[in-house]
Structure 1
Amino acid sequence: MNNTSAEIASQPAVWRRAATLEPEAVRELAAPGERMLVLGCGTSWFVAQSIAELREDAGLGETDAVCASEYVPRRHYDRVVAITRSGTSTEVLEALRQVPAGTRRIAVTAVRGEPVDDLTDARLLLDFADERSVVQTRFPTSVLALARTAYGKDLESVVADGDAALTAPLPADPADIDHLVFLGTGWTIGLAHEAALKVREAAQAYSESYPARDFRHGPVAVAGPRSLIWSFGDVPAELDDVAREAGATAYRDDRDPLAQLVLAQRFALALAAHRGLDPDRPRLLTRSVVLT
């Protein structure tokens, strides 16, 4: 078993541990009535998108998500949350340096004693969710599990679905698929983006992701017999018919969307194995992007 596989398999247990940080998460990620910005790069940006939707759906306050490299301090926020597994990503650190004085800054990270600590007022440390792999799996899902706990979600059913996703059959034979499209709606759009990224990182395969209804506005044109169209959450069922009319395989299940992401991670690894790739050594990638 490679590191990435082991970390994927550990997720349900790690989510339970993340839930023990609920009091800290309520204080830093809920903050009812405040305007919040969530920053991140790559996977962490997609997690930020999901958190922003979840927080607003919970009625806790206006929440934006911005890619850290695109942050410009134009709007007022009461607090800025930076998600960074390593605590060293250059774009995240540069964004935090631009945050106006008086704004509360929080880091969600897996490592203690990194540069992000000097730029923030508080830290949510998920060191138990840290990873040896370059390709992130359990850290981002644990951040989302923690945020959902802070917003009132009971994780027991989520953990049970996560356990089931570890042994569930894959939706297709990787030998038959060379194009994947992940669709989401609301907070699961971020999950769709993350699933597509896992396929690109681990398997170097052609993958896309969209808000579900946008699939008909152009992306369906490239779907065909070797395409897998994968829906997260409450995606309109008629989009399965659209996928099948294009000759593609349509997939959805009724597990919690976070558990569905676990299954997508497993598919990315199976596709990597089919292509003779080592997911622990993804092409051109490093654990943290540190620019000079």
Structure 2
Amino acid sequence: MPSSAPNYSFGTIDNIEAISEVIFAFFVKFLQSSRGNRLSQRYGIPLHVDASLGGFILSIMERCDFAVKSFDFRVPGVTSISCDVQKYGFAPNGTSLILYRDSSLLHHQYFCNSEWPGGIYMTPTLAGNRDGCAIALTWATLLYNGRQGYTERIEAIINTVREIRTGIEKCPHIQLLCESDVATVVFTTRGLNVYALADRMNKLGWVLTTLQNPPAVNICVTLNHTKSGVVDNFIRELNMACEDLVLNSEFSQQSRTAAIYGQYHFKKEIFF
């Protein structure tokens, strides 16, 4: 059973404790069935937590006394957790890890496909076909930052998230969509094309990720946003971009992103 801590689009964490309880209830019911205890143990349902985006930041947020929803092995049903060290662990790209509750689960990850047309293929070490450089750099990054370094950086990022949210709440043309659990701010527009707004902001140098269902954008807050004056500049230019769209409706018509999303939904209605 997959779960997210958090999901990429909105930065919200699934109710992993509730999912675990549902799985446990299924276990109990299965134990009471005629199949017996042996089969229920053999065919138990693992609960995986995809913490690719939030793995590092959530663990540090707790050390900073921020409220954090339960997501790790302290939840009884969680059997595995994945985390991208390249994100808020600040390691090189392509470095991720997966944790298992016990070694018996780890052995299910090993496999050999003898029917592959390319012949029998196996790698003898944990690194697989990856070079050792990324692993060494990741380890060096962890040692360089240390607990204190990560704590200071994550605390600054979360405080910046709150500053951005406060600034956006004062924008008359912007509406926050949700309260993210990590370093993501998600918002949409009131009466304006949100994709056109994203294009305007991107031209000003701000990286906003476009979303759909509903149409929205998010901004992943990083260390760069914690620098002095960055939040004020972002809010000021966000308001300026909104005013540009209000005064010049043609900007929405010229938006390439808006055209792409509009064309997609038009074709979806026709063909699907």
- Tell me the TM-score normalized by structure 2: 0.29
Structure number with greater CO (CA < 8 Å, separation at least 6) is: 1
